[in-house]
Amino acid sequence: MNITKCIDSAGQIRVALVEDGNLIPLQTTAELPTLSAILAAENPKAAAASLARDQSIAIDDSTQWLPPIDQQEVWAAGVTYKRSQTARMEESEAAASCYDRVYNADRPEIFFKATPSRVSGHQQPLRIRTDAKWNVPEPEITLVLSPALKIVGLTVGNDMSSRDIEGENPLYLPQAKCYDQCAGLGPWITLMDELPSADAITVDLKIVRDGAIVFDQATSAAEMARKFDDLVQWLGRDNTMADGAFLMTGTGIVPTSDFTLLPDDVVNITIGGVGTLSNRIVQGAGS
């Protein structure tokens, strides 16, 4: 079951199912007034199925997607793939030993990524910083967590990163990661009773520039050095998520040092069994 948020023809924000190329707006109730309330239910799929449906809307170029988030926090894990460890060590000689140690340590790197206002949905713009010269997308399998930190589904995540800022000094990580339009989520949440095997959760990144694919690479959760449950357990230590959370689980795809995003690039991230998140890149005021 896929569930999302959108704006209907009357300009209203709606929670909707995605079925057979259509959006099906749901009639929320006092008991289930929001998407996050559905995700917090004991059985989110049953909760969504219990709501009455309005007339379906065909998905086309006019569809106004919203990120499938209410007030949840967005967190991220780093250096969970060997490729990420190697890339981080390459970008910063001073921090190389830190990234090497965290890859093998019991405690993972987990950091705060975004507030909901900094998140873009499908076909909404993502931003590269004006004070950075080396900007990359980071395609990530993203766990959707209930307030009890139960994994209730997956979505596609883009953990945008300014690698030159982070590489200059590891203490600059928050500035490299958290800014306006720094995170992509969507196009929907795929609700799951249990996650598929790691091999089945593939990740594909394609970057289009001037109509041509300039970057194309894939990996899968099978390449991860850490388990999803382990990352969630560390996130929840002495930490309360009253509204639930999204946890980006790290990237195994990192463009080489001669590649940086440019304005008007289109980043397409596909997670196997979930869907494709597409965002145009912008930079500067008024973009």
Query: 66, 97, 115: which is the final residue of a domain?
Result: 66
Which DSSP symbol is given to 108? Answer: P
Residue 135: φ, ψ to 5°:
-120, 135
Whether 247 and 188 map to the same domain: the answer is yes
Whether 248 and 272 map to the same domain: the answer is yes
Whether 139 and 14 map to the same domain: the answer is no
Residue with the larger pLDDT of the pair 185 and 80: 185
227-241 tens-digit pLDDT:
999 999 999 999 999
203-235 tens-digit pLDDT:
999 999 999 999 999 999 999 989 999 999 999
Whether 89 and 151 map to the same domain: the answer is yes
Q: Output the domain CATH number for residue 241.
A: 3.90.850.10
Whether 18 and 139 map to the same domain: the answer is no
Query: 42, 66, 90: which is the final residue of a domain?
Result: 66
Whether 274 and 151 map to the same domain: the answer is yes
Residue 82 pLDDT? 60
Taking residues 248-277, report their average pLDDT.
95
96-145 tens-digit pLDDT:
567 767 777 888 999 999 999 999 999 999 999 999 999 999 999 999 99
Q: Which domain holds residue 42?
A: 2-66
Whether 97 and 230 map to the same domain: the answer is yes
Whether 122 and 214 map to the same domain: the answer is yes
Which DSSP symbol is given to 81? Answer: B
Query: 66, 85, 119: which is the final residue of a domain?
Result: 66
Whether 127 and 93 map to the same domain: the answer is yes
Single pTM value for the model: 0.93
Which DSSP symbol is given to 236? Answer: T
Q: Which two tokens stand for residue 36?
A: 């996050």
Taking residues 179-197, report their average pLDDT.
96
Whether 232 and 276 map to the same domain: the answer is yes
Residue 209 pLDDT? 98
Helix (H, G, I), strand (E, B) or coil at 234: helix
Residue 95 pLDDT? 57
Percentage of the chain exceeding pLDDT 90:
82
Whether 146 and 272 map to the same domain: the answer is yes
Residue 105 pLDDT? 83
Number of separate domains in the chain: 2
Residue 167 pLDDT? 86
Q: Say yes or no to pLDDT of 90 above 60.
A: no
36-82 tens-digit pLDDT:
999 999 999 999 999 999 999 999 999 999 999 999 999 999 888 86
Percentage of the chain exceeding pLDDT 70:
93
102-122 exposure pattern, b = at least 16 Cβ within 10 A, e = fewer: bbeeeebbbeebbebebbbbb
Whether 91 and 215 map to the same domain: the answer is yes
